[in-house]
Amino acid sequence: MLTSQEPEHLTLLRDTLRRFIDKEMPRDLVRKWDREDHFPSDVYQGLVDLGLTGLTVAEEYGGSGRDITAMIMTIEELSARSMAVSTGYIQSACYAGLNIADVGSEEQRRTLLPRVATEGLKFSYGFSEPDVGADIASVRSTAVRRDGKIVINGQKRWCSGAKIAQYIYALVRSGPVEDRYNNLSLILVPTDAPGITYQPQATLGLRGDGTYDVSFDQVTVREEDIVGGLDGWNAGWKKLVGPGLNVEKIEVAAMALGISRAAVDDAWTYAQDRKQFGKPIASIQSIRHMLADVKTKWQACHLMTYHAASIVEANQPADVATAMAKLFVCDTARDIVLTCQQIMGAYGYADGFDMERYVRDILVMPILGGSSAIQKNNIANRLGLPR
């Protein structure tokens, strides 16, 4: 479906991605990765070799220059085929590339960004904890400075991709608990540091990257591993809620956009192939209406996602646009996928068809990266609605 007047470089990128996906990520292989909870590192390396992780890295650090729209398009295309590959890409281009560029120290930019662009260096987010969900400023994991080092203790939950990442981007409490926002720090914890243990968490979808409970027992890192260097000590909250969280919201929207597009395409084809009562089910009016509805809703999701991306790209205030995109796209994409599943009847529920995977993957999108309820709070607050 032609969606807008796309600049030429984006059309070229989309074509390149689709060729790569068709060749390296065929559907049967993607199903196997999902079934076996496997991260295809060779395919991921192919993306790195194409320069795609460098889309968030400035040329002076070895990338191709920051292009948020191209990054969002890459997430959409990959998510339309495989969340295992898509989430690995996000861990590099977004979690590592964008955060270090925006809030890292110059030394971190110099040493880590070239690795994002050329090696696909990955971070895993360590914000959530067993008792910490939406209220991430209440983290209990601690960091103390001792003899020129940082010593970390505590437990993180839902660290997606922790075992394939090189660092956990961990939010920890670095001062007295009373001063809620001014005693948090972000620390880059190498995933192979002594004192870290991993416990896998089984989930319904998003398989391939794996998600883990991560325990820190006297884990010791360098002071240089504080995000932003020594100036970042106790400044973690400001670093977390800046541009990084805005981009995270549209990353999740782009994942939902990709999954729901694949669902619409599959249902559209299936409805023309499947015959009942002597004719394709696509000729039944209620099915036609469902198909028209999902196409229309998807188009709205596409416009909202890329509109929010363009505001981030232009460095304009993007809190509201990104929250609206996250809210609308994730909730709507979930409805789209469930409708597509209904169109496919029993085969939307069967192993061996991709629809059941789309359903499992889409259900988490309104939860991740700030739930839909949290986005509604953000929108009402940012637009100044009195409490």
Ligand X SMILES: Cc1cc2nc3c(=O)[nH]c(=O)nc-3n(C[C@H](O)[C@H](O)[C@H](O)COP(=O)(O)OP(=O)(O)OC[C@H]3O[C@@H](n4cnc5c(N)ncnc54)[C@H](O)[C@@H]3O)c2cc1C
Q: Which residues bind ligand X (CB under 6 A)?
A: 124-128, 133-134, 158-160, 203, 206, 211, 364, 367-368, 371, 373-374, 377
To the nearest whole angstrom, how small is the minimum distance from the Cβ of residue 201 to ligand X? Answer: 8
To the nearest whole angstrom, how small is the minimum distance from the Cβ of residue 217 to ligand X? Answer: 19
Nearer to ligand X, 37 or 265 (CB): 37
Residue 124 phi/psi, 5-degree rounding, is -115, 135
> Any residues with CB less than 8 A from the CB of 151 and at least 6 apart, and which?
143, 144, 218, 219, 220
What does the alpha-carbon distance between residue 130 and residue 137 come to, in Å, rounded to a whole number?
14
**151 C-beta neighbours (distance < 10 Å), count:** 16
Cβ contact 250:309 at 8 Å? yes
What does the alpha-carbon distance between residue 5 and residue 8 come to, in Å, rounded to a whole number?
9
Cβ contact 63:113 at 8 Å? yes
Question: Which of 357, 300, 370 shows the shortest CA–CA distance to 79?
Answer: 357
Nearer to ligand X, 159 or 343 (CB): 159
What does the alpha-carbon distance between residue 13 and residue 70 come to, in Å, rounded to a whole number?
8
Nearer to ligand X, 16 or 377 (CB): 377
Q: 63 in the Ramachandran plot: left (φ > 0), alpha (ψ -120 to 50) or beta?
A: beta
Nearer to ligand X, 86 or 124 (CB): 124
3-class SS at 243? helix
Chain CA centroid to CA 271, Å:
31
To the nearest whole angstrom, how small is the minimum distance from the Cβ of residue 240 to ligand X? Answer: 11
Please identify the residue of the shown chain whose CB is closest to the bound ligand X. Answer: 133
Nearer to ligand X, 126 or 228 (CB): 126
Nearer to ligand X, 23 or 35 (CB): 35
To the nearest whole angstrom, how small is the minimum distance from the Cβ of residue 10 to ligand X? Answer: 28
Q: 245 in the Ramachandran plot: left (φ > 0), alpha (ψ -120 to 50) or beta?
A: alpha
Nearer to ligand X, 342 or 371 (CB): 371
To the nearest whole angstrom, how small is the minimum distance from the Cβ of residue 43 to ligand X? Answer: 21
What does the alpha-carbon distance between residue 124 and residue 122 come to, in Å, rounded to a whole number?
7
- The bridge status of strand 275-276 relative to strand 149-160 is unpaired
To the nearest whole angstrom, how small is the minimum distance from the Cβ of residue 112 to ligand X? Answer: 19
What does the alpha-carbon distance between residue 165 and residue 156 come to, in Å, rounded to a whole number?
15
Cβ contact 211:177 at 8 Å? no
H-type alpha helices, the chain: 8-24, 27-36, 41-49, 68-79, 83-89, 99-103, 106-119, 236-240, 243-273, 285-313, 319-343, 355-362, 372-382
To the nearest whole angstrom, how small is the minimum distance from the Cβ of residue 365 to ligand X? Answer: 10
To the nearest whole angstrom, how small is the minimum distance from the Cβ of residue 154 to ligand X? Answer: 13
Nearer to ligand X, 173 or 302 (CB): 173
Nearer to ligand X, 71 or 255 (CB): 255
To the nearest whole angstrom, how small is the minimum distance from the Cβ of residue 283 to ligand X? Answer: 39
- Tell me the two tokens of residue 377: 């709070």
